[in-house]
Chain A
Amino acid sequence: MKRVSIPYKIFTVFNYIVCVALALSCVLPLVNLFAVSFSAKAVVEAGGVGLWPRGFNADAYGYIFSTAQFWNSLKVSVLKTVLGTLITLILTICLAYPLSRKKGALRGRSVYMAVIIFCMLFSGGLVPTYLLVANTLNMKNTLWALILPGGVQIFSAVIMMNFFRQLPGEIEEAAHVDGADHFRSLFLIVLPCSLPIIATVVLFAFVGNWNSWFDGLIYMTQPEMYPLQTFLQQYLKEPPGFSIGLVYKELSEDSMAAANIFIIMVPLIAIYPFLQKYFIKGIVLGSVKG
């Protein structure tokens, strides 16, 4: 039998209160956002919206869905996220697998690693990268400017490499004895065993692509090519409240902003529970140094 002292009981109560409060602080602002986005102007401006919409009003969404800008930006965001995630996943696997092979298996490994580490530590910075992408490669106002420069994610490659290393080597060795080459071993043995790390890399690439906005701001000169996040950033900087208010009299500026923000979070909230199962395992196993 375990003795539980009175101070420890008090601590446990305190502990639950603190942790639950922290958890609520992370979730409630988002719930409030949802409520504000669906509430009537009078209630919002009086500050009376809590965690549930009051004076239900979906005009904000009606307005957003009626603009061509939203659909353009959505298209850019979706294409960029899907293509960008796919490219990053492929590049990460191509980078991580050869480097995860046993010592001596890959001649020149140290040269590859030196390049990777150098790229991780040092960069040309904002202006040279911008001039390369925008002028030399002429990618201004194209999707490629948003996808290709961040294609290789070194951090993802490193955790994937570490993950591959801690996989039990016996199955692969057996396959090699049976004549499997590196490609077969990668596709038939290593990748099917690597669901947690693939999910982790996909999650980070997805979130990174969906969330990025600065690249949209500098590489896109036409607003219709802005991804949603860049569009939102511009919107929040200077809300065009007045013109909207003339048509939608029951719509507050706060509701408009909240609806814009909420729409952007929907894909993240949708994939989060699925990927959350894996990413902790992926990060933890990937952080183990071989």
Chain B
Amino acid sequence: MENGLTISNDVTVKTAPQTRKRRKSALSGNVWQLHALLLLPMAFLVLFNLVPIAGLRMAFLESYNYRLGIWGSPWGGLTQFRYMFTVLPEFWTVFRNTLVIAVAKLVFGFPVPIAVALLLNEMRSKKTKKAIQTAIYLPYFISWVVMGGILKNIFQANGFFDRFLGVFGYTPSTLWLQSNSSFVPILVVSEIWKGFGFGTIIYLAALTGVDPNLYEAAEIDGANRVKQTLHITLPAMMPVVILNLILNLGGILNAGFEQIFVLYSQKVYDTADIIDTYVYRLTFGQGTNYPLGTAIGLFKSVIAFILIGGTNLVLVKKTDYRIF
């Protein structure tokens, strides 16, 4: 079946050798069409993904001279990295913040879609289930700018949250989004709220694959719903759960740039400033220190690359699953 012959076996048997050869060449003669289709998307990838990688020379510059460009500016070797690891006071703060926020989101957010998928799975009424699904997928499609606007409104002084607390007789005087103790919890909860519904899709799909006979057999054996969930439903979800968890570990340095960018302010830099927001301020905000910003960004990319590549290696060795 080499050379792209997609004719099935029984057809090839029936055809005479000569026509078979002609047809084979007819399709393999068309392989250029496949390469032609790939030309345009590949050109895009090379231009917008690979060329910027060459531009990473920026991270190794002594300093950036706008007139001389990336290729003409003076080479500085590891100057930027040395500066960032040993001198720059903010670096370890933003690195720690990034990890704390991302880990908190993973620990608290990861189980939520699994639990909701299990709950939805127990629903008998198809219509109610469908309506609930429609509602909980919606926030995923709303931008962080819009979400930021909604959250700012909820957490403003005397906003919905304050009035809600007022019902219980508690009158706070905190500006929730400007306090280091409440900012990160708000990040975690709003991230979960935006994504949990969409996250259930993949788990629900895994559950539709479970053989209903298993439940019947379990019922005859006297297993109640809790036992059925523990011994049938959960094991059926396990492969997807593990795959998802490993994928999430790979992105552990992505603490959520857009979300933090629209919500944070100088007052919460101590806990909320992450690598991405810091790089943005270094390069577009207060200054234009391109080499340093690029170096910090590169540091993050390399760690992410190692994490994802490493987890994929583990996957290939231990399970049938792989990311690619």
Binding site for B on A (CB under 8 A): 5, 8, 11-12, 15-16, 18-20, 22-27, 29-30, 32-33, 47, 90-92, 94-95, 97-99, 101-108, 112-113, 115-117, 119, 121-133, 135, 148-152, 157, 169-170, 172-173, 176-177, 179, 181-183, 186, 207, 210-214, 218, 229, 232-233, 236, 254, 257-258, 260-261, 264-265, 268, 272-273, 276, 280, 283-284, 287, 289
Please name 24 pairs of A and B residues whose Cβ atoms are closer than 8 Å in the assembled complex, sorted by A. Answer: A22-B116, A23-B132, A23-B136, A30-B150, A32-B160, A91-B41, A102-B6, A104-B2, A112-B42, A115-B45, A119-B50, A122-B301, A124-B49, A124-B53, A170-B8, A181-B30, A181-B33, A182-B30, A183-B33, A207-B141, A213-B143, A236-B152, A260-B149, A264-B145
Contact B145 A102 (CB under 8 A): no
**Does B52 touch A at the CB level, under 8 Å?**
yes
B34 near A47 (CB under 8 angstroms)? no
Which one of B136, B202, B280 lies within 8 Å of A283 (CB-CB)?
B202
Chain A hits for B45, CB < 8 A: 115-116, 119, 152
Do B283 and A127 have beta carbons less than 8 Å apart? yes
A182-B58 CB under 8 A given contacts A105-B4, A169-B6: no
Question: Which of B34, B143, B276 lies in contact with A98, CB distance below 8 A?
Answer: B34
User: Would you list the 7 A-B pairs with minimal beta carbon distance, nearest first?
Assistant: A124-B52, A128-B55, A105-B4, A211-B143, A125-B297, A23-B135, A98-B34
Q: In the complex where A102-B4, A177-B11 touch, is A125 in contact with B294 (Cβ < 8 A)?
A: yes
Residues of A within 8 A of B279 (CB): 125-127
Minimum CB–CB distance for A167 against chain B, Å = 12
Cβ-defined partner of A152 (8 Å) among B3, B44, B205: B44
Q: Is B11 a contact of A124 with CB atoms below 8 Å?
A: no
Contacts A105-B6, A272-B141 given; does A177 touch B48 at CB 8 Å: no
CB distance from B279 to the nearest CB of A (A): 6
Interface on chain A toward B: helix, strand, loop, or mixed SS?
helix
Interface centre among A26, A127, A173, A272 (most CB of B within 10 A): A127
- Chain B residues with Cβ under 8 A from A173's Cβ? 6-8, 11
- Cβ distance B174 to chain A, nearest Cβ, rounded Å: 17
Contact of A264 among B30, B35, B48, B146 (CB under 8 A): B146
Task: Say whether, besides A47-B158, A95-B38, A233-B262, A128 and B135 are in contact (CB < 8 Å).
Answer: no
The number of residue pairs between A and B whose CB atoms lie closer than 8 Å in the complex comes to: 270
B128 within 8 A of A: yes
Contact A126 B297 (CB under 8 A): yes
Cα(A213)–Cα(B257), bound, Å: 12
Give which listed residue, A94, A124, A207, A232, contacts B40 with CB less than 8 A.
A94
Q: Are B142 and A265 in touch, CB under 8 angstroms?
A: yes
Q: Name the contact of A112 in the complex, choosing from B38, B149, B193, B261 (C-beta under 8 A).
A: B38
Partner of B132, one of A22, A148, A181, A280: A22
**Contacts A101-B4, A104-B3, A127-B283 hold; do A26 and B136 have CB atoms under 8 A apart?**
yes
Check A218/B44 contact, CB under 8 A, given A97-B37, A98-B37.
Answer: no
What is the number of residues of chain B that contact chain A, defined by CB distance less than 8 Å?
98
B108 within 8 A of A: no
A119 to B284 CA separation, bound complex (whole angstroms): 24
Distance in angstroms between the alpha carbons of A236 and B119 in the assembled complex: 37
B23 — which chain A residues lie within 8 A by C-beta? 176-177, 179
The answer to whether A127 touches B293 (Cβ under 8 A) is yes
| Structural contact, B283 and A176, CB atoms closer than 8 A | no
Q: Which residues of chain B from 56 to 81 have any CB-CB distance to chain A below 8 Å in the complex?
A: 56, 58, 69-70
Determine which residue in B52, B120, B136, B304 has the highest number of CB atoms from chain A within 10 A of its CB, and name it. B52
- Could you tell me the distance between the alpha carbons of A280 and B4 in the complex, rounded to whole angstroms? 32
For residues 70 through 98 of chain B, which have their beta carbon under 8 Å from a beta carbon of chain A?
Answer: 70
Q: Are B128 and A16 in contact (CB under 8 A)?
A: yes
For the complex, what is the distance from the CA of A190 to the CA of B66, rounded to whole Å?
Answer: 49
Residues of A within 8 A of B135 (CB): 22-24, 26-27
| CB-nearest residue of chain B to A237 | B262
A182 to B152, CA, bound (A): 53
Complex: A81 Cα to B14 Cα, angstroms: 51
Please indicate the chain B residues that have their CB under 8 angstroms from the CB of A176 in the complex: 6-7, 23, 27
- From A19, A170, A260, A268, give the contact of B116 (CB < 8 A): A19
Shortest CB distance B102–A (Å): 18
Q: Tell me, in angstroms, the Cα distance from A233 to B144 when the chains sit together.
A: 9
How far, in whole Å, are A265 and B142 apart by their CA atoms in the complex? Answer: 7
Determine if B44 and A229 form an interchain contact, defined as CB atoms under 8 angstroms apart: no
How far, in angstroms, from A30 to B122 measured CA to CA in the complex?
Answer: 28
**Given known A121-B308, A213-B143, contact A19–B38 (CB-CB < 8 A):** no
A151-B297 CB under 8 A given contacts A15-B122, A101-B34: no
Within 8 A of A (CB), among B265-324: 276, 279-280, 283-284, 290, 293-294, 297-298, 300-301, 304-305, 308-309, 321-322, 324
Q: How far is the CB of A84 from chain B (nearest CB, A)?
A: 13
Please judge, given known A-B contacts A254-B153, A283-B201, whether A126 and B293 are in contact too, CB under 8 Å: yes
